[in-house]
Structure 1
């Protein structure tokens, strides 16, 4: 006897992946956009005029980490039976690109911009987490929320804390009488991290 099964049930999709797949895809695309932004910021400090190897290292590291997280998210989406759509980007990110595409910032402003970027990525993860944890039979998915908590939220918390500390320290150092020496020493500190 042959049992008929529908093709819909022959996928790896279960839980709320259908409800949050588009949000996860948008989140991946935001990671890639932010990775390129960090890379542009890194190249601003890796030239003969600026020559700030510590800042270049910081932003190149943020770029690499953000890129890896995007790749990891694609792997997660496909593991759960989804597909990746690279065309999904929120209007908020698109408006930012049109409004202020300048990545040649002073040192303090560039760290503050990186802090803002990381906060936005963290808040986006919180929104997806909230969608996956709704107590609705169509949307509740503790596996997605657990994955976001362990793979993204803890890392972003640490990055936000580090960048906030850098912003505070650099701001205080730049308020000294010899702020060019302080900036040099801060860049040297970043290079050794």
Structure 2
């Protein structure tokens, strides 16, 4: 009887050790997710002060990469937690690990803490994405008003944001005048990337 109880305790101990090994791995992944969040937050603030076209373009590429990485990590972490949850349920079939046992309460407490941490991290990340999107929309609207002395309607504003096109500037050979292309929902502009940054920003002197 004593040997059976001891064997059950040893099995519970081994499983709990394995559990905490998995927990440390998930914590490391959550830390990396936080690092991506702070990187995106820093890049967003930095984007407000940059005025070099190449630097801004590189920064936006990094921001896009951070968003993609964060979403990928969050998806993987969700899968890890689902596996861990199933492992907790299976663990209750072992001696000394049944529902309500010390081992089970420890697992549930740690698991709930990790799940809350992931949810909080994603809430913060989504709030930051919304802030970036909202501020970018306001910036585009302000730039449009500076050029045309009127606010764009919602369809035009959506077009400008989706194509990253605020203004197309054709520079004549004598460069005495500049011709501006006014994007509208009924006018599909050529790919904005075809226009050199010098031409895109010649008039505004503002950068994305």
> Shorter-chain TM-score: which interval?
0.3 to 0.5
Structure of greater Rg: 2
- Of structures 1 and 2, the one with the larger relative CO (CA 8 A, separation 6+) is 1
